[in-house]
Amino acid sequence: MNDDVGFSCTSCGKCCHDLKLPLSISEAVDWLERGGEVGVICDLMPWVDEPPLTDMVALRKKSLSFEATSGQLKVRVTPILVAQYEGPCPHLLSDFRCGQYESRPLACKIYPAELNPLQVFDPNSKLCPSDAWQAEIFIPLINQEVHLAIETMNKLSVLEVNAKANLCRIMNINSAALSNQGYVLHQPDRTTFQKALTEINDMIQSGTLPESSADWCVLTHLDVTAADLKSVGAVFEQIQLENLSKTVSIPNGIYIGFGG
Ligand code: SF4
Ligand code: SF4
């Protein structure tokens, strides 16, 4: 947890550059309306057995994902909507203040605090310069606004899983990378995205959102994983990386692989 951490933002602007910023559904609608780009990161986990009730990490992963299949393999898929941009965020002003401060996404309100209550807070993993942690007067990292943003984002992340699963279904998004091996960023065009979001909102309002389940294709760049997936009857596609961590284009998106 981050409760006893002191912090004072230096307005260096580093956290407002080159990010994939997680968004709720309503934030995605707003972001697109303001002219920004939104993508969908899909993360997939084989899910053969249910975890014990004492495995808090697995239970959190379960709550953020939906049940699906990949051929004969049972899996869970975590869909994350992200505002994507290279370079400075379109809302970043020249003096590094936020041009949308009052209506900035929850993720912006939370940073550099941790969203995940199970994650140990480590200032060294953050982009903030060292003087942000060394203010002479103690200012808590978690004030009331940050606390509320963490609570709201955690709740929405669980509540919106099925709506995001349906978004994937409507936009024909059905490929994902394995957790910790890479990720797939799907980049539907703006019109497709806005139409799908409207459809989802209509179904939510009318209470007709179905439980979504689909067959997913696992993308991997690792020979050993491809062999494992084949042996369990999963649907998969092997991606060729020219260099480690290099981005590879796939239809309507990119695949980024980690490690060897
Ligand atoms: S919306 Fe504001 S706080 Fe969030 S990344 Fe953009 S400039 Fe930074
Ligand atoms: S990286 Fe940290 S110190 Fe710099 S603007 Fe973001 S929150 Fe503030």
Residue range 35-92, pLDDT digits in tens: 999 999 999 999 999 999 999 999 999 999 999 999 999 999 999 999 988 899 999 9
Is the CB of residue 92 below 6 angstroms from any atom belonging to ligand 2? no
* Dist CA 235 CA 72 (whole Å): 8
List 76's β-bridge partners, or say none.
45, 67
Q: What average pLDDT does the structure give for the chain?
A: 92
Distance from the alpha carbon of residue 215 to the mean position of ligand 1, in angstroms: 36
153-203 pLDDT, tens per residue?
999 999 999 999 999 999 999 999 998 899 999 999 999 999 999 999 999
User: What pLDDT shows up at residue 170?
Assistant: 95
* Dist CA 101 CA 109 (whole Å): 9
* Dist CA 196 CA 145 (whole Å): 31
Span 10-26, average pLDDT: 94
pLDDT-based confidence at 229, cuts 50/70/90?
Answer: very high
Is the CB of residue 254 below 6 angstroms from any atom belonging to ligand 2? no
Span 201-212, average pLDDT: 89
Distance from the alpha carbon of residue 101 to the mean position of ligand 1, in angstroms: 7
User: 91, 93, 103, 146: which to mutate for ligand 1, most atoms within 8 A of CB?
Assistant: 91
List 40's β-bridge partners, or say none.
81, 186
User: Does residue 2 register a pLDDT over 80?
Assistant: no
User: What pLDDT shows up at residue 166?
Assistant: 96
φ/ψ bin of 28: left (φ > 0), alpha (ψ from -120 to 50), beta (otherwise): alpha
User: What pLDDT shows up at residue 238?
Assistant: 95
Span 11-37, average pLDDT: 94
User: What pLDDT shows up at residue 175?
Assistant: 96
Chain centroid, CA 114 distance in Å:
14
Distance from the alpha carbon of residue 9 to the mean position of ligand 2, in angstroms: 5
Ligand 1 atom at minimum distance from 89 CA: 6
Whether omega before 79 lies within 30 degrees of 0, making that bond cis, reads no
Span 136-142, average pLDDT: 81
Give every CB contact of residue 21 below 8 A, 6+ residues apart in sequence.
82, 83, 84, 89, 105, 107, 108
* Dist CA 254 CA 251 (whole Å): 8
Span 201-216, average pLDDT: 88
Secondary structure element (H or E) that encloses residue 90, with its range: none
Ligand 1, CB within 6 Å, residue ranges: 16, 21, 89, 91-92, 98, 100, 104, 108
With tokens 């990010």, the residue in question is 19
Distance from the alpha carbon of residue 37 to the mean position of ligand 1, in angstroms: 14
User: Does residue 260 register a pLDDT over 70?
Assistant: no
Span 97-108, average pLDDT: 95
User: What pLDDT shows up at residue 141?
Assistant: 86
Token pair listed for 159: 């509540």
User: What pLDDT shows up at residue 4?
Assistant: 78
User: What pLDDT shows up at residue 163?
Assistant: 96
Of 140 and 151, the structure prediction assigns the larger pLDDT to 151
User: Shortest CA distance to 78 belongs to which of 192, 16, 22, 161?
Assistant: 161
pLDDT-based confidence at 24, cuts 50/70/90?
Answer: very high
